Amino acid sequence: MKTKGKYARLLAASALCAAGVPALAQDAETQAELENLRLRVEALESQDPNSTPGEFRIGNTTLDLYGYVKADFFYDFDFDQGDTAFVNVVGEPSAATSGTFGATVRQSRLGLLTSTPSAIGDIGGQLELDLFAGGGAAELRLRHANIRIGEQWLIGQFWTNFQPLDTYPTSVEFNGPVGIAFARVPQVRYTNSFSSNAEFALSIEENVGGSNSDDPVLTASAEYNDGGRFIARGALLYGKAEGGGVEVDQTGLTLSGSARLWEGGLFQVNYVTGEALGPWLIGLGDAVVGGEANDVDGFTVELRQQLNPKWNVGIAYGYEDYDLATSTGTLAFTELETIHVNAFYQATDNLTLSAEYIFGERNDAPTGRTFDANRVQVAAQLNF
């Protein structure tokens, strides 16, 4: 069914997105993995107890484990950004370094899928954890916890409907480029189809923490996907944000697209704009500054090439531009830029080795100065 195929793509994103190899679900080298994941999801949703050999079963509920172990090693040349390439600290005197080496396994994650047939359709569940707790600790953190009812309803925590999953740029490090929405939030989402290649989704979601609002957020999205050659998507967001005792409207628009115009190649773009929208983006700019909504524009551009069955390379550029300066530490920025250049080697069906060069730049709005940072990172990831 088409909805099952869509859920397989969403599952691929939740299991892999924002961790490098994740976004490779968009590239040829992981098409076989994505197809295998789709088949696993369809098997899980089947009511035939003989159709899922090797899966766990409790009564009429089928359970499936997934996840990966990932080890990252990185070196910051100019500013110590921590376990992620966090461009917001670039320029801060407290983060300045003549060279800092670091390593982490905190991106490793574990997920559980369940499927139970019922009179109202198959009821599925997802629980996913990683080790990216706060303060640099390698402690369990909740990523996803949701229930799917039939083919249309999702209830619980998942990627926001405002975020473009199918065109999210590939990176080895955790965050990826600035200039794109990135959030996992509790929500109620309804999805249905316009046609065999097009669908829409509506959701009521909890606002992200930086918005300082207890009001819900409303989102709507529509996507055309012909199976991976061409993808076009648009999404809207409306909510409220608060700052300094002032409440403002929070609005957002995302437009995304990807195309495979030549053998092994992928070109994709994401554009986002809105008011008081910073907390929903990678850059985490302030939503409200001086009692005014802080408007922001951002975009990402990515070019990837499959060199052969083993090697995939790419480059992604991200940019965010705020109307009002966001204060972080001793600096206040209005512009952020990142460049990710990476290569992935598929050593085996489930083992991927990768390397990445990351450039980040942040301006100091009051003085007009800019600060930049360079970082290299290598990783090994074992999927299961």
Specify which of 55-59, 117-121, 267-271 reaches the highest per-range mean pLDDT.
267-271
What is the Cβ-side half-sphere exposure of residue 221, based on CA atoms within 13 angstroms? 24
Q: Provide the pLDDT confidence category of residue 161 given band limits of 50, 70 and 90.
A: very high
Q: What is the pLDDT, as a whole number, of residue 121? A: 87
pLDDT-above-70 percentage for the chain: 86
Lowest-confidence region among 126-135, 249-258, 277-286, 305-314: 126-135
pLDDT-above-90 percentage for the chain: 75
Q: What is the pLDDT, as a whole number, of residue 135? A: 74
Q: What is the pLDDT, as a whole number, of residue 19? A: 45
Question: The tokens 């390379």 sit on which residue?
Answer: 313
Mean pLDDT of the chain: 87
Looking at the predicted structure, is the pLDDT value of residue 27 above 60? no
Q: Provide the pLDDT confidence category of residue 30 given band limits of 50, 70 and 90.
A: very low
Lowest-confidence region among 123-137, 154-168, 362-376: 123-137
Of 327 and 2, the one with more pLDDT = 327
Q: Provide the pLDDT confidence category of residue 34 given band limits of 50, 70 and 90.
A: low
Q: What is the pLDDT, as a whole number, of residue 46? A: 40
Give the residue-averaged pLDDT of 187-214: 95
| Third-level CATH fold of 2-383 | Porin (2.40.160)
Q: Provide the pLDDT confidence category of residue 287 given band limits of 50, 70 and 90.
A: very high
Q: Domain extents for the chain?
A: 2-383
Lowest-confidence region among 21-35, 146-160, 220-234, 315-329: 21-35
Looking at the predicted structure, is the pLDDT value of residue 154 above 80? yes
Q: Provide the pLDDT confidence category of residue 26 given band limits of 50, 70 and 90.
A: very low
Looking at the predicted structure, is the pLDDT value of residue 256 above 80? yes
pLDDT per residue as tens digits for the range 56-106? 888 889 999 999 999 999 999 999 999 999 899 999 999 999 999 999 999
Q: What is the pLDDT, as a whole number, of residue 11? A: 53
Q: What is the pLDDT, as a whole number, of residue 44? A: 41
Q: Provide the pLDDT confidence category of residue 138 given band limits of 50, 70 and 90.
A: confident
Looking at the predicted structure, is the pLDDT value of residue 6 above 70? no
Of 196 and 216, the one with more pLDDT = 216
